[in-house]
Amino acid sequence: MVESKFSKVDFSRYFQPPSLKAARRRRREKVHIINDFSIPDEMKGIGRNKKYLIETYGCQMNEHDTEVMAGILQEMGYSETAEIAEADVILINTCAIRENAENKVFGHIGYLKPLKRENPGLIIGVCGCMAQEETVVNRILHKYPQVDLIFGTHNIHRLPQLLQEALFSKEMVVEVWSKEGDIIENLPQARKGHFQAWVNIMYGCDKFCTYCIVPYTRGKERSRRPEEIIEEVRDLARQGYKEVTLLGQNVNAYGKDLKDLDHYGLGNLMDEIRKIGIPRVRFMTSHPKDFDDHLIEVLGKGGNLCEHIHLPVQSGNSDILKIMGRGYTRERYLDLFYKIKKAVPGASFTTDIIVGFPNETEAQFEDTLSLVRTCRFDGAYTFIYSPRAGTPAARMKDNIPMEVKKERLQRLNKLVNQLAEESNAKYQDQVVEVLVEGTSRKNADMLTGHTRTNKVVNFSGPESLIGQLVQVKVTETKMWSLDGEWQREPEVSQS
């Protein structure tokens, strides 16, 4: 039987208990750039002949954090396994954005309990956004004694020390900082791919949309120095990477906190990255309020800047947008949308939409449908509003029954699907550039990749094409993908 360690937890050992209230306070504390990450001598080689497995939930930011944790574990000698029963360290990198994401994680932690019986030396760690929530930490402390370690989004660089404590102490180790976070520059990264890479350009979010937990779990906006980012992209280009995606919760706020630079923003950064010899550059996620003209002008220069804009709208109704705290109206969103469309010919647009925000009326929901029809999005991530404890929206009374919200989601999805199909149909017989990412999950005989506009393309060809940019002629279009024929490069005659 697994012994409950809860009774032995010494709360005074916490640096600070995780607290949404504390996280809400934005202080003017200076962001420290820390460059001295190293593995303590006693932890070097501790993972020799041992295996780790990291399970990742949620957004690209989490995927990239997982790459960093994998890099740290590998520096300690651990190697990766895909077999859960083989693992000596299991880390669950969690997402807090909606309740169903959290429920999945709790279900999974429950499922890990028997593994602990078979391998008492196994370390189970919970990290990521859920670990920043006090309710989650309390629930784990009380109900999931199989967990050995909980650490937050600001403590990833302390993984070696935390693992050391977890390995040598009998207590559950909890370290979650409510502080707003620093920037740690020299962390190892075990990147998942060899031709596509995530590059963090900033951390945190100061937007505080009233429904969203991210500003609490990820801390305040802090931008990495442009020279560090540019060097990272240059290095990836030298290593032969074909595509980078610049990441941040609100990339359009990039640079606002770099007070010593004169109005240096995402436009300036992209203008410099544009000159680096890497074939494709993407960025996400954008916030319409901060999307400025300079960035639009730079995107219009094309080159390696891909023509795909993910521009979350959340709602097509100005009153709802106001209560959401989004800082723009329906009209301003549409103005921006058309401005970008004009400057970046052929661009594809995707968005995020929340239905069933507290008290959303039928007419307000229909405004969302009409905006989607107007913009003819190439795709949309659609969600039913999920109350997140500690956020302002969670305190609002809501008179909309769940059945109504579900029905609205269905109507919205029907429209989104129809528009996706129509937008893909326009690719019929076109020759598109595809970065070949691997074999198709559905059919191992087919290769799969994305166009610059982020459309999925499946086609047959030799596996040697994986990692290359190739030309494919679209022969059939579907709702969420295109089928095509690889356009073999003409042989160069040897005369």
Burial class (CB in 10 A: 0-12, 13-18, 19+), 304: buried
Q: Is 95 annotated as a binding residue?
A: yes
Segment contacting ligand 5AD by CB under 6 A, of 72-80, 227-235, 372-380, 385-393: 385-393
The site partner of 385 among ligand SF4, ligand 5AD, none (C-beta below 5 to 8 Å per kind) is: ligand 5AD
Which residues, listed in sequence order, are joined to residue 197 by a DSSP beta bridge?
244
Say which amino acid occupies 495: S
CA atoms of 467 and 243, how far apart (whole Å): 10
Q: Nearest approach, Cβ of 110 to ligand 5AD (angstroms)?
A: 24
Closer by beta carbon to ligand SF4, 353 or else 371: 353
Closer by beta carbon to ligand SF4, 290 or else 367: 290
Q: Which residue matches tokens 């920043």? A: 132
Phi, psi dihedral angles at 431 (to 5 degrees): -100, 125
Q: Does 369 bind ligand 5AD (CB under 6 A)?
A: no
Closer by beta carbon to ligand 5AD, 206 or else 352: 352
Q: Is 59 annotated as a binding residue?
A: yes
Closer by beta carbon to ligand 5AD, 177 or else 385: 385
The site partner of 97 among ligand SF4, ligand 5AD, none (C-beta below 5 to 8 Å per kind) is: ligand 5AD
Is the bond preceding residue 285 a cis peptide, omega within 30 degrees?
yes
Q: Does 383 bind ligand 5AD (CB under 6 A)?
A: yes
Q: Provide the 8-state DSSP code for 11.
A: G
The site partner of 205 among ligand 5AD, ligand SF4, none (C-beta below 5 to 8 Å per kind) is: ligand SF4
The site partner of 255 among ligand 5AD, ligand SF4, none (C-beta below 5 to 8 Å per kind) is: none
Q: Does 214 bind ligand SF4 (CB under 6 A)?
A: yes
CA atoms of 351 and 459, how far apart (whole Å): 27
Q: Does 386 bind ligand 5AD (CB under 6 A)?
A: yes
Strand order from edge to edge, sheet including 379-384: 308-310, 348-355, 379-384
Q: Does 212 bind ligand SF4 (CB under 6 A)?
A: yes
User: Please, which residues have CB within 8 angstroms of residue 120's CB and are 6 or more apart in sequence?
Assistant: none
Closer by beta carbon to ligand SF4, 336 or else 472: 336
Contact 198, 60 (CB under 8 A): yes
The site partner of 249 among ligand 5AD, ligand SF4, none (C-beta below 5 to 8 Å per kind) is: ligand SF4
Site string for ligand SF4, 275-294 (x = CB under 6 A): ------------x-------
Strand order from edge to edge, sheet including 173-175: 79-80, 51-56, 89-94, 123-128, 149-151, 173-175
Segment contacting ligand 5AD by CB under 6 A, of 156-164, 231-239, 265-273, 383-391: 383-391
Q: Looking at the chain, how many residues does it have?
A: 495
Helices (H) and strands (E) in the chain, counts: 13, 21
Q: Does 208 bind ligand SF4 (CB under 6 A)?
A: yes
CA atoms of 175 and 126, how far apart (whole Å): 11
Phi, psi dihedral angles at 441 (to 5 degrees): -65, -30
Chain residues that interact with ligand 5AD, rule: CB under 6 A? 97-98, 211-212, 312, 314, 352, 354, 383, 385-386, 388
**Which residues are at the interface with ligand SF4 (CB under 6 A)?**
205, 207-209, 212, 214-215, 249-250, 287
